[in-house]
Each structure stands twice: as C-alpha cells, then as structure tokens.
Amino acid sequence: MKTILIFVSTLDGKITKWGDPEIRSWSSKNDQDYFDTVWNETRVVIMGSGTYNPYPVKPNSKNLFIVMTRHPEEYKSKAAPGQLEFTNESPLQLVTRFAKTGEEKMLIVGGAQIATSFLRDGLIDELWLTIEPKIFGKGANFVIEEKLDIGLELLSCTRANNQGTLMTKYKVIRA
C-alpha cells in the first residue's frame, strides 16, 4: 500500500493564509481540480479533527474518510461505518489495518499534526505538493515544529498555469 501526503503550499511554505484554514480562497483552480481528482480516485482518506471540524466531509460510498482524534466518542453521531470513521488509532495502526485489507493507496490530507506524526513514524511513501506562487509570511506549515530529517527524490514537476503553480511529486527516501 502506498501512503501519500498531499498539500498545497505557498513559496514560503505556508498551508494557511495567516492561520485561516480556508485553502480554496487562495489556491489556484488548477490545484483545486487536481486535489478533487486525487480525492475522488482514492478510497481511504485520512485527516485530523482540526481539518474535519471547520469543513466536515459528507459520507459517501466511494470514500472511507478516517478522522484521527483523541476523542472519537465525541463524534459518534456523525460516524457512518465504512464511509466516515473517527478513531484514536496511531498512524502505524491505520497503515497496518488498511494494508491488511488490500487497499492500494491511502491519502493523508491534513493537518500538520497528522502529517508530522506519519512523517515522524516513517509511514509516508510519497509527498505530493502543489506550490502556489504566493508568499504569506504568516500561516501554518504542513509539519509542526519537530526535529525531522527526511530525504526526498523528485518524481515529477508540472507547471499548471501561467502564474507558475507547480505540482510536484516526491518519493520519500528511507535511510
């Protein structure tokens, strides 16, 4: 199973504009279309409650959305088995569970704490990063402050528009 971390970022590495979690207000239409396509082609999509809470996903038969939270019991009324689950499983437990069920791909969509925990535990195979030609100066990064030393190898880079939006894919190099 391939685990993919996907984000959109500014040139200065921000995934939010001044802390506002609404990405669609500043990311390009190209990135939004790309993300929607990847999202729709992936059955298992992992996010944290900080990503879910401002913009709750709706359960559907195509995806299995997993929301990582310390308090899954608080979301009992929103859960839809096999479509929308809330869990306090660790990243390793999730990867193990879905590898056993034969899933081909797992998409990690945010936020920074979830991304950092999967990266720290060496569970990310590829990083797909859209780089928007913007600089915000202030905003969230896609990893939280933690000592990491992760090598990447560029697999592809595509210029998406005249403004210079770049869609990159990196392979994580294991030491």
Q: What is the CATH number of the domain that holds 38?
A: 3.40.430.10
Model pLDDT, residue 24: 87
Q: Which of 18-32, 62-76, 125-139, 158-172 has the lowest mean pLDDT?
A: 18-32
Model pLDDT, residue 82: 95
Model pLDDT, residue 174: 78
Domain housing 86: 2-173
Q: Using the predicted structure, report yes or no on whether residue 175 has a pLDDT greater than 80.
A: no
Looking at the structure of the chain, the number of domains it has is 1
Q: Where are the beta strands (DSSP E) in the chain?
A: 2-10, 44-48, 64-68, 84-87, 105-110, 126-132, 151-159, 166-173
Query: What share of the chain in percent tops pLDDT 70?
Result: 99
**pLDDT tens, position by position, 48-100:** 999 999 889 999 999 999 999 999 999 999 999 999 999 999 999 999 999 99
Q: Using the predicted structure, report yes or no on whether residue 4 has a pLDDT greater than 90.
A: yes
Provide the CB-side half-sphere exposure for 66 (13 A, CA).
Answer: 20
